[in-house]
Amino acid sequence: MRAVIAVILAGTLLGLVAPPSFAGSDWVEIKDPNELRALYSNKTFRGNGWIGHYRADGTGVVVIQGSQPVRRTWTVKGRDQVCVTPEIGSVQCFTFKYASDDRKSILLTNVATGFSLLFAVEDGIQKF
């Protein structure tokens, strides 16, 4: 249970800190299910103090600095959301925007809470 609380707290705190490289960008909403699938398929997400790896088969793992990896599944919901279910915890759904000047800079927003998180997306994943 502590690990779940740490992951939720860290995710919330990380969403309040914006790396300078994301400042001043215009953001474009991702509203295409195929583009959302491509965003998660065999990609690595790198944020401030965390990293996530997502496979095209709908599985993934997130590691927050100093914590154990948390496995999860993901699925596209509707035209504009991805919902993630951690191995311990409840489903969370997110919307996404990319920076108009850098499509690898992504702004994720939790649909239920409104908290946003900035990260960079890279092709490829590590084994997990």
Question: Does residue 113 have a pLDDT over 70?
Answer: yes
123 HSE (CA, 13 A, CB side): 1
Q: What is the average per-residue pLDDT within 42-62?
A: 96
Closest CA to 11 of 119, 126, 123: 119
pLDDT tens-digit readout, 68-93: 999 999 999 999 999 999 998 999 99
Question: How far apart, in whole angstroms, are the C-alpha atoms of residue 72 and residue 111?
Answer: 18
Question: Does residue 25 have a pLDDT over 80?
Answer: no
Which CATH code for domain 2-123?
2.40.128
Residue 23 pLDDT class (50, 70, 90 cuts): low
Question: How far apart, in whole angstroms, are the C-alpha atoms of residue 28 and residue 83?
Answer: 20
Question: How far apart, in whole angstroms, are the C-alpha atoms of residue 43 and residue 82?
Answer: 14
Provide the whole-model pTM: 0.79
Question: In the 8-state DSSP scheme, what is residue 88?
Answer: S
